Amino acid sequence: MYHLPYDPQIPLVCMDEQPVQLVKETRKPLPVEPGKPARVDYEYQRNGTANVFMFTEPLNGRRHVSIRERRTGIDWAYEIKDLLDVHYPEVQRIRLVCDNLNTHKIGSLYEAFPPDEARQLARRLEIHYTPKHGSWLNIAEIELSALTTQCLDRRIPDIQTLGNETRAWEKRRNKQQKSVDWQFTTEDARIKLTRLYPLVKE
């Protein structure tokens, strides 16, 4: 998929998701002072969880991050609708690379929307699943790693703050047009992933 030439009418979009634990401070952190680092109490209060949906188009350095309370099939369906209708309304279809989770299915669209609407969305979606033990082949996983280390490496108390922080990160990263330098070749795959290839019996 990553070797295909860029087609603005059929863009390649990689998608991944991860849960995030929301954590509140129990005491106000002490700021940096001359000769003293910032001080944070080890004690914290759990404040629920949220789910981060990451969409990235690796060939043009564009990504979109969305936050939801849950990670059900219906949540995925609404994210796909937003992807198709808001972010890519003019394209013929999208080649979507994602993990083979039970929520990442065309059936989720039919659970969330009336049949006619679900069918229209499904016609514009070409899903390509990563191998069962090869989710790291999804470039969105690399983007999620960057988001985690650059934005989520501190205590975030609630879903609103999480949304604000990830939107700011997305805006900055898109402005810089950061892209992933993917160096895993087909030749490397044939060596490293031999156990994932089917055995042909004559």
Q: Token pair for residue 20?
A: 């995030």
pLDDT (0 to 100) of residue 32: 85
Q: What is the mean pLDDT of each run of 10 residues along the chain (202 residues)?
A: 88 95 80 83 81 93 93 96 96 94 95 97 95 80 92 90 94 83 69 66 66
Helix boundaries (H) for 10-105: 73-82
Closest of 134, 9, 11 to residue 1, by C-alpha: 11
Handedness of CA 132, 138, 142, 144 (dihedral sign): negative
Rounded Cα distance, 5 and 141, in Å: 22
Q: Calculate helix-pair angle for 73-82, 115-123, nearest 10 degrees.
A: 60
pLDDT (0 to 100) of residue 40: 75
The CATH fold assigned to 12-196 is Nucleotidyltransferase; domain 5 (3.30.420)
Give the chain's end-to-end CA distance (angstroms, integer): 29
pLDDT (0 to 100) of residue 66: 96
Task: Enumerate the domain spans of the chain.
Answer: 12-196
Position 118: which residue type? A
pLDDT (0 to 100) of residue 41: 73
